[in-house]
Chains A and B, each alone.
Chain A
């Protein structure tokens, strides 16, 4: 391997190297975002896991438990940050995997579009669950749909 090739194959290790290697300014932005969101996600995800697996028996989680938790404003705000950063960080990470392992450009594009569509819909579900309705309203609205 020539020196030039080795330099090309190297992972960026500093901000300057990442800037020099990034194919576009948006890729550089995502490189920075992964690190900032990653730092935020360590406490967010660890506290989330603690609250639901260590402070509580996850095997006893039921409808009432979830509703009681999600009705607390603090939990809603905490979970909103967790949802936002985890979705962006996770979906971008999955995108990296698609870029790395799906070789054919048209398939790569297709997989990314499927990922973004599915993730976008799921993200909207998450936001709705946290903010859009009370569970009584939502429950009766959905039942009304079925009874028509």
Chain B
């Protein structure tokens, strides 16, 4: 397998996170639109599935994917529209990873106990 340098991994993670978030978006619009069927409709049944701990762990992964994809997207924009962006793409990528991890701390701090209490 070709193991590229930082830019290659930035792209691979951007692609995987993007596809994952886009597929979740399609699912998420479907599940929210189930409220149209009223309080006795299929929405609550869907929520039981959503509130299972494996799905909630998956939601943390979706949040991580959105954060990484968004921050790395800003890095791509800087690379595309500034004269200096490409020169600093590598440190900017480490910045993206670091910031994603930092944002992850309060997210995990809040959500993991919720999942543990619910399970």
| Residues in chain A within 8 A of chain B (CB atoms) | 12-15, 18, 35, 38-39, 41-42, 45-46, 49, 53-54, 57-59, 61-64, 66-67, 70, 83, 86-87, 90-91, 93-94, 97, 118-119, 122-123, 125-126, 128-129, 133, 135-136, 138-140, 142-143
Contact = CB atoms under 8 A, between A and B. Distances in A.
B41 interface: yes
Contact of A142 (B32, B41, B56, B67): B41
B106 interface: yes
A38 B38 contact: no
Is the contact region of chain B dominated by helix, strand, or loop, or is it mixed?
helix
A41 B118 CA distance: 31
18 contacts: A13-B79, A38-B74, A38-B77, A53-B107, A53-B111, A54-B106, A63-B43, A87-B29, A93-B19, A97-B19, A122-B30, A126-B32, A129-B33, A139-B36, A139-B37, A139-B41, A142-B36, A142-B37
A14 B79 CA distance: 8
Is the contact region of chain A dominated by helix, strand, or loop, or is it mixed?
helix
